[in-house]
Structure 1
Amino acid sequence: MSDPTVPTTWRHFIGGSWVEPATGEYFDSTDPATRRTLYRAARGTAPDVERAVAAARDAFEDPRWRDLSQTRRGHLLRRLGELIAENADELALMESRDNGKLLREMRGQLATLPEYYHYYAGLADKIHGETIPASDRRVLNYTTREPLGVVGAITPWNSPLTLTTSKLAPALCAGNTVVIKPSEYTSATGLRLAELALEAGFPPGAVNVVTGFGAEAGQALADHPGLAKISFTGSTATGSRIAASAASRFIGTTLELGGKSPQIVFDDANVPNAAMGVVAGVFAAAGQTCIAGSRVLAHRAVYDELLERVCERAKSIRVGDPLDEATELGPLAFEAQRDKVAGYVDLGRAEGARVLTGGAATDGGLGGWFYEPTVLVDVDHGMRVVREEIFGPVVAIMPFDTEEEALRLANDTEYGLAAGVWTTGLARAHRVAARLDAGTVWVNTYRAMSPMSPRQGFKNSGVGVEHGTETIKEFTRLKSVWINTGEEPVADPFTMRS
């Protein structure tokens, strides 16, 4: 497949225009499958962020946006969804080359991504307050939901378009303007998305993108006093720093952070289905997903069968060029991530874990940053490979004997993002789902997702809600209005009334 027609150098997108970085500096972005340079992107710093936030503030206060009806905002969101659909092949190829995700997986994501914009398009004119009964019939009390202002969106490299959309679509739906800082490893599709937003009819400055490194552009955006809200997806450590910065200015945050999600396979489970669920939960996207089901707890009665099936499929996974339709596992997104995964597997060996399959870095035949699908056994919950997020194609599988033990082990983690349950027992499914300390629980499936379904991380996995109608509260503020409709003179407050 030929490369998309894109510039070899990407500048910032600020105020509806392509803008040179304040320092004049650029950095290279590399194809993880081949290690070849894809493009150069602007190296953003505090002055670039300042310019972007100012442009977003101007757009927020511009009557073309401020006074636009909620229904018209919905029309713009729908048009943006249509433009994404029209440019799906280009966007899929750009993202696949940028972070190494399978092209066929990206085509699947791009086929459903417009639905997020269409969902929020329909929701735009359903944002409203309510009338509150007052003790005095002459007093009218009602509430309104107002946009916050300028939202800062800091997005990761593993699913740039999808995770940017989770922030951008509801923020625009509610009437905010946005400054996006994409990961330095995946800048291109965020910039292209901002360009499409302008084409859809959003006013200049409604969507801005500043590229660069986290310590330079990302920190400058998180600390900017002009933001009314920060939405971040990434590591728990970085999320903690962002939360502290936001708290010092009393602004809200939505944080989707790390995970170490359990998948529990009970003795009454359909084991072939559960095995495929495990494979999908941890090897899809090369394990580079916050919801990866990287801890598998299998009842001792089905442990051997599940292990055999998972290992058999892991050994047959085709590793290679993400643009090849036959490839099933692409590269890790960058060299340091590949080295981190390799380091965790080596650590697991040192802790006493046994590698049943995989366990080695490879170049995928292309010179890139690949790692074999890896299954670890002889593990326990004291090991770091079981407790810490690896973010790669590595799964630890361990047995359990009772439901209580499975729940104890599943909840024995600082994270609470997601969990999977495999059982044919209806009562058990509901009982276990209720007791799992996770914001999303899948039963007899894994990684199902919809713009209509809210998701939230528990414990160290985050704060706030994404998706669904609930997320609108994250991007609006509530105002209570009291109106005295009576025409009588206002009583002197210092005159006693009988």
Structure 2
Amino acid sequence: MVQVETKISSLFINGEWHDADSGQTDAVTNPATLQTITEVAYGGEFEAKRAIDAAKTAFTEWSEMSPRKRSRIMYKAHQLMLDDVDRLAEILTTEQGKPLKEAKGEIKGAANFLLWYAEEANRIYGEWIPSSQRRKRILVVPQPVGVVGAITPWNFPSSMITRKIGPALAAGCTVLLKPAPETPLSAIEIVKIFEKAGLPEGVLNLVTGDAKAIGEAMLSSRDVRLITFTGSTEVGKYLMRESADHVKKLSLELGGHAPIIVFEDADLDVAAKLTLGSKYRNAGQTCICANRVYVHESVREKFSQKLIEHVEALKVGDGSDPSTDIGPLINEQALEKVENHLNDAVSQGAEVVYGCSKWNGELDGHFYSPTVVTNVTDDMAVMNEETFGPLLPLQTFTDEDEAIAQANNTDYGLAAYIFSENLDRSLRVMERLEYGIVGVNDVFPATAEAPFGGIKQSGIGKEGGHHGIDEFVEQKYVSIGMHK
């Protein structure tokens, strides 16, 4: 694996790398081995405030720079990222745990966001609206929001960064980035890429450390005009409440509880293979992964058999091993949640048909075997909460209306999936599902060119596509009177 320095200056403020004022550091741990990888700076309120000041100062020049010049820097960052895929993927796997092949895919996807928004920087169009009055002209002028506070998660520590800072920078905003404490190394590398690409000082700032203190600095500052966050619904609600004093804009991608509906007319081979890919990618630590599967009772046995055959072939282990399919969970708390959900289900009558244990390999990390349970009921925790681990519950249904009602019976509304070879049914069910993202015979909907985001308690706003840049733009209405 790639070699990392034993201690890293991880605060990037106004174009310079710093240690924390206090000298404090925080350990970064490999979840597969539980060994310390390195120490990074443990910054807090004062460092965050300096970063906000730097972003505010840099905003004028960056926002007034031509979109073409901004896009050139982003094009270069995109290429630098692609040129370094292997090393960046190794760093990601070391700190986060996902298999190396998945990490490489994430790095390429992260680079794609930079490419997409390098192009979108030149397409932020205004409007000239025909006036109802002869001597009035009406213009709508798009302008960047201002300083952005970006808070990113550990499960996709590269792509979630570029999905936020890509449109922010393209729109002309400046950024304070706070990555998850579990995975700061990927954030450091992305900032270094932008530094190498020629991004002006103060445009992108990075502060690692005390999540609460850094977040409160963003919330209390009148200069931070937008907070973009990916994480739990609980934290998203907190950000909404605390943003009220300054009426900040918010873009929130929150928790999910994705259902998969397998109809009797589905291609069961495709459905089983893709359900496996959705559930066990990143060890189930994905906000849009299958959290509950509803299978028509007439195909339950066939589908379950095909699914379990695929699950049995999965290899658990260190993500740095090219043959590994499932890496570790991020920490001990994640392991405990999977066990609690499983124990709750079994105590209420669920049947374990595969798995059901921590992985007892040669490594000391947070591993759990891929597990499948049947005979689940709606009152079990696994059917109501986001497990975020490799535990898959199967439940049957008898008709279309029942399946839709079961799928919609949640406060979450991020992603849902349908397997059917009937086009009429697919369109009909898609329209009735209360989710921001619906996959039809597809469980990998995330892509740079499409809007990504949920409804209900899964968030507000969209990331990706031309819609994603709208979050970082204010529309200024200009009314021009003509008096001659």
TM-superposed deviation, 1:374? 0.9
Cα pair 2:109 2:447 within 8 Å, conserved? no
- What's the counterpart of residue 82 of structure 1? 79
- What's the counterpart of residue 294 of structure 1? 291
CA deviations on 1:107-134 (whole Å, 9 max, x unpaired) are: 1222333221111111111112101122
- Aligned-pair Cα RMSD in Å: 1.4
- What's the counterpart of residue 160 of structure 2? 163
- What is the CA–CA distance in structure 2 between the aligned matches of 1:403 and 1:66, rounded to whole Å? 51
The verdict on how the C-alpha distance between 1:259 and 1:132 changes in structure 2, with shifts beyond 3 A counting, is same
Question: For structure 1, which segment, 250-259 or 342-351, has the greater mean C-alpha deviation from structure 2 after superposition?
Answer: 342-351
Cα pair 1:269 1:424 within 8 Å, conserved? yes
The aligned amino acid for 2:40 is: A
- What is the CA–CA distance in structure 2 between the aligned matches of 1:303 and 1:483, rounded to whole Å? 66
TM-superposed deviation, 1:135? 2.7
Q: How does 1:11-30 map to 2 (within 5 A)?
A: 11-30=10-29
The aligned amino acid for 2:270 is: N
Counterpart check, 1:53 vs 2:52: yes
- What is the CA–CA distance in structure 2 between the aligned matches of 1:220 and 1:311, rounded to whole Å? 48
Cα pair 2:9 2:18 within 8 Å, conserved? no
The verdict on how the C-alpha distance between 1:309 and 1:40 changes in structure 2, with shifts beyond 3 A counting, is same
- What is the CA–CA distance in structure 1 between the aligned matches of 2:128 and 2:445, rounded to whole Å? 37
- What is the CA–CA distance in structure 2 between the aligned matches of 1:460 and 1:453, rounded to whole Å? 21
Cα pair 2:316 2:327 within 8 Å, conserved? yes
- What's the counterpart of residue 336 of structure 1? 333
Within the candidate set 245, 270, 273, 1:276 is matched to 273
Percent identity between matched residues is 36
The verdict on how the C-alpha distance between 1:345 and 1:440 changes in structure 2, with shifts beyond 3 A counting, is same
- What's the counterpart of residue 118 of structure 2? 121
TM-superposed deviation, 1:385? 1.1
- What's the counterpart of residue 211 of structure 2? 214
Q: How does 1:26-425 map to 2 (within 5 A)?
A: 26-61=25-60, 63=61, 65-425=62-422
Cα pair 1:8 1:38 within 8 Å, conserved? no
- What is the CA–CA distance in structure 1 between the aligned matches of 2:387 and 2:9, rounded to whole Å? 31
Cα pair 2:344 2:380 within 8 Å, conserved? no
TM-superposed deviation, 1:433? 0.5
- What is the CA–CA distance in structure 1 between the aligned matches of 2:149 and 2:114, rounded to whole Å? 19
Counterpart check, 1:472 vs 2:454: no
- What is the CA–CA distance in structure 1 between the aligned matches of 2:472 and 2:39, rounded to whole Å? 33
Cα pair 1:183 1:213 within 8 Å, conserved? no
Question: For structure 1, which segment, 143-152 or 67-76, has the greater mean C-alpha deviation from structure 2 after superposition?
Answer: 67-76
TM-superposed deviation, 1:88? 1.4
- What is the CA–CA distance in structure 1 between the aligned matches of 2:241 and 2:93, rounded to whole Å? 34
The aligned amino acid for 2:73 is: L
TM-score by length of 2: 0.97
CA deviations on 1:278-315 (whole Å, 9 max, x unpaired) are: 10111111000000111100000111111112222222
TM-superposed deviation, 1:363? 4.9
SS at match of 1:376: strand
SS at match of 2:466: coil
How many residue pairs match? The answer is 484
TM-superposed deviation, 1:367? 1.0
TM-superposed deviation, 1:73? 1.0
- What's the counterpart of residue 9 of structure 1? 8
The aligned amino acid for 2:42 is: R
TM-score by length of 1: 0.95
- What is the CA–CA distance in structure 2 between the aligned matches of 1:195 and 1:143, rounded to whole Å? 36
TM-superposed deviation, 1:476? 0.6
TM-superposed deviation, 1:386? 0.5
Cα pair 2:110 2:160 within 8 Å, conserved? no
Cα pair 1:317 1:329 within 8 Å, conserved? yes
Larger radius of gyration: 1
SS at match of 2:446: coil
- What's the counterpart of residue 459 of structure 1? 456
- What is the CA–CA distance in structure 2 between the aligned matches of 1:425 and 1:186, rounded to whole Å? 43
Cα pair 2:25 2:42 within 8 Å, conserved? yes
TM-superposed deviation, 1:71? 1.2
CA deviations on 1:67-88 (whole Å, 9 max, x unpaired) are: 2101111111111101111121
TM-superposed deviation, 1:224? 3.1
- What is the CA–CA distance in structure 1 between the aligned matches of 2:88 and 2:436, rounded to whole Å? 30
Gaps of 5+ in 2: none
CA deviations on 1:444-477 (whole Å, 9 max, x unpaired) are: 1211321111122011111111111112221010
Cα pair 2:283 2:326 within 8 Å, conserved? yes
The verdict on how the C-alpha distance between 1:152 and 1:363 changes in structure 2, with shifts beyond 3 A counting, is farther
TM-superposed deviation, 1:95? 0.6
Cα pair 1:32 1:334 within 8 Å, conserved? yes
The verdict on how the C-alpha distance between 1:6 and 1:90 changes in structure 2, with shifts beyond 3 A counting, is farther
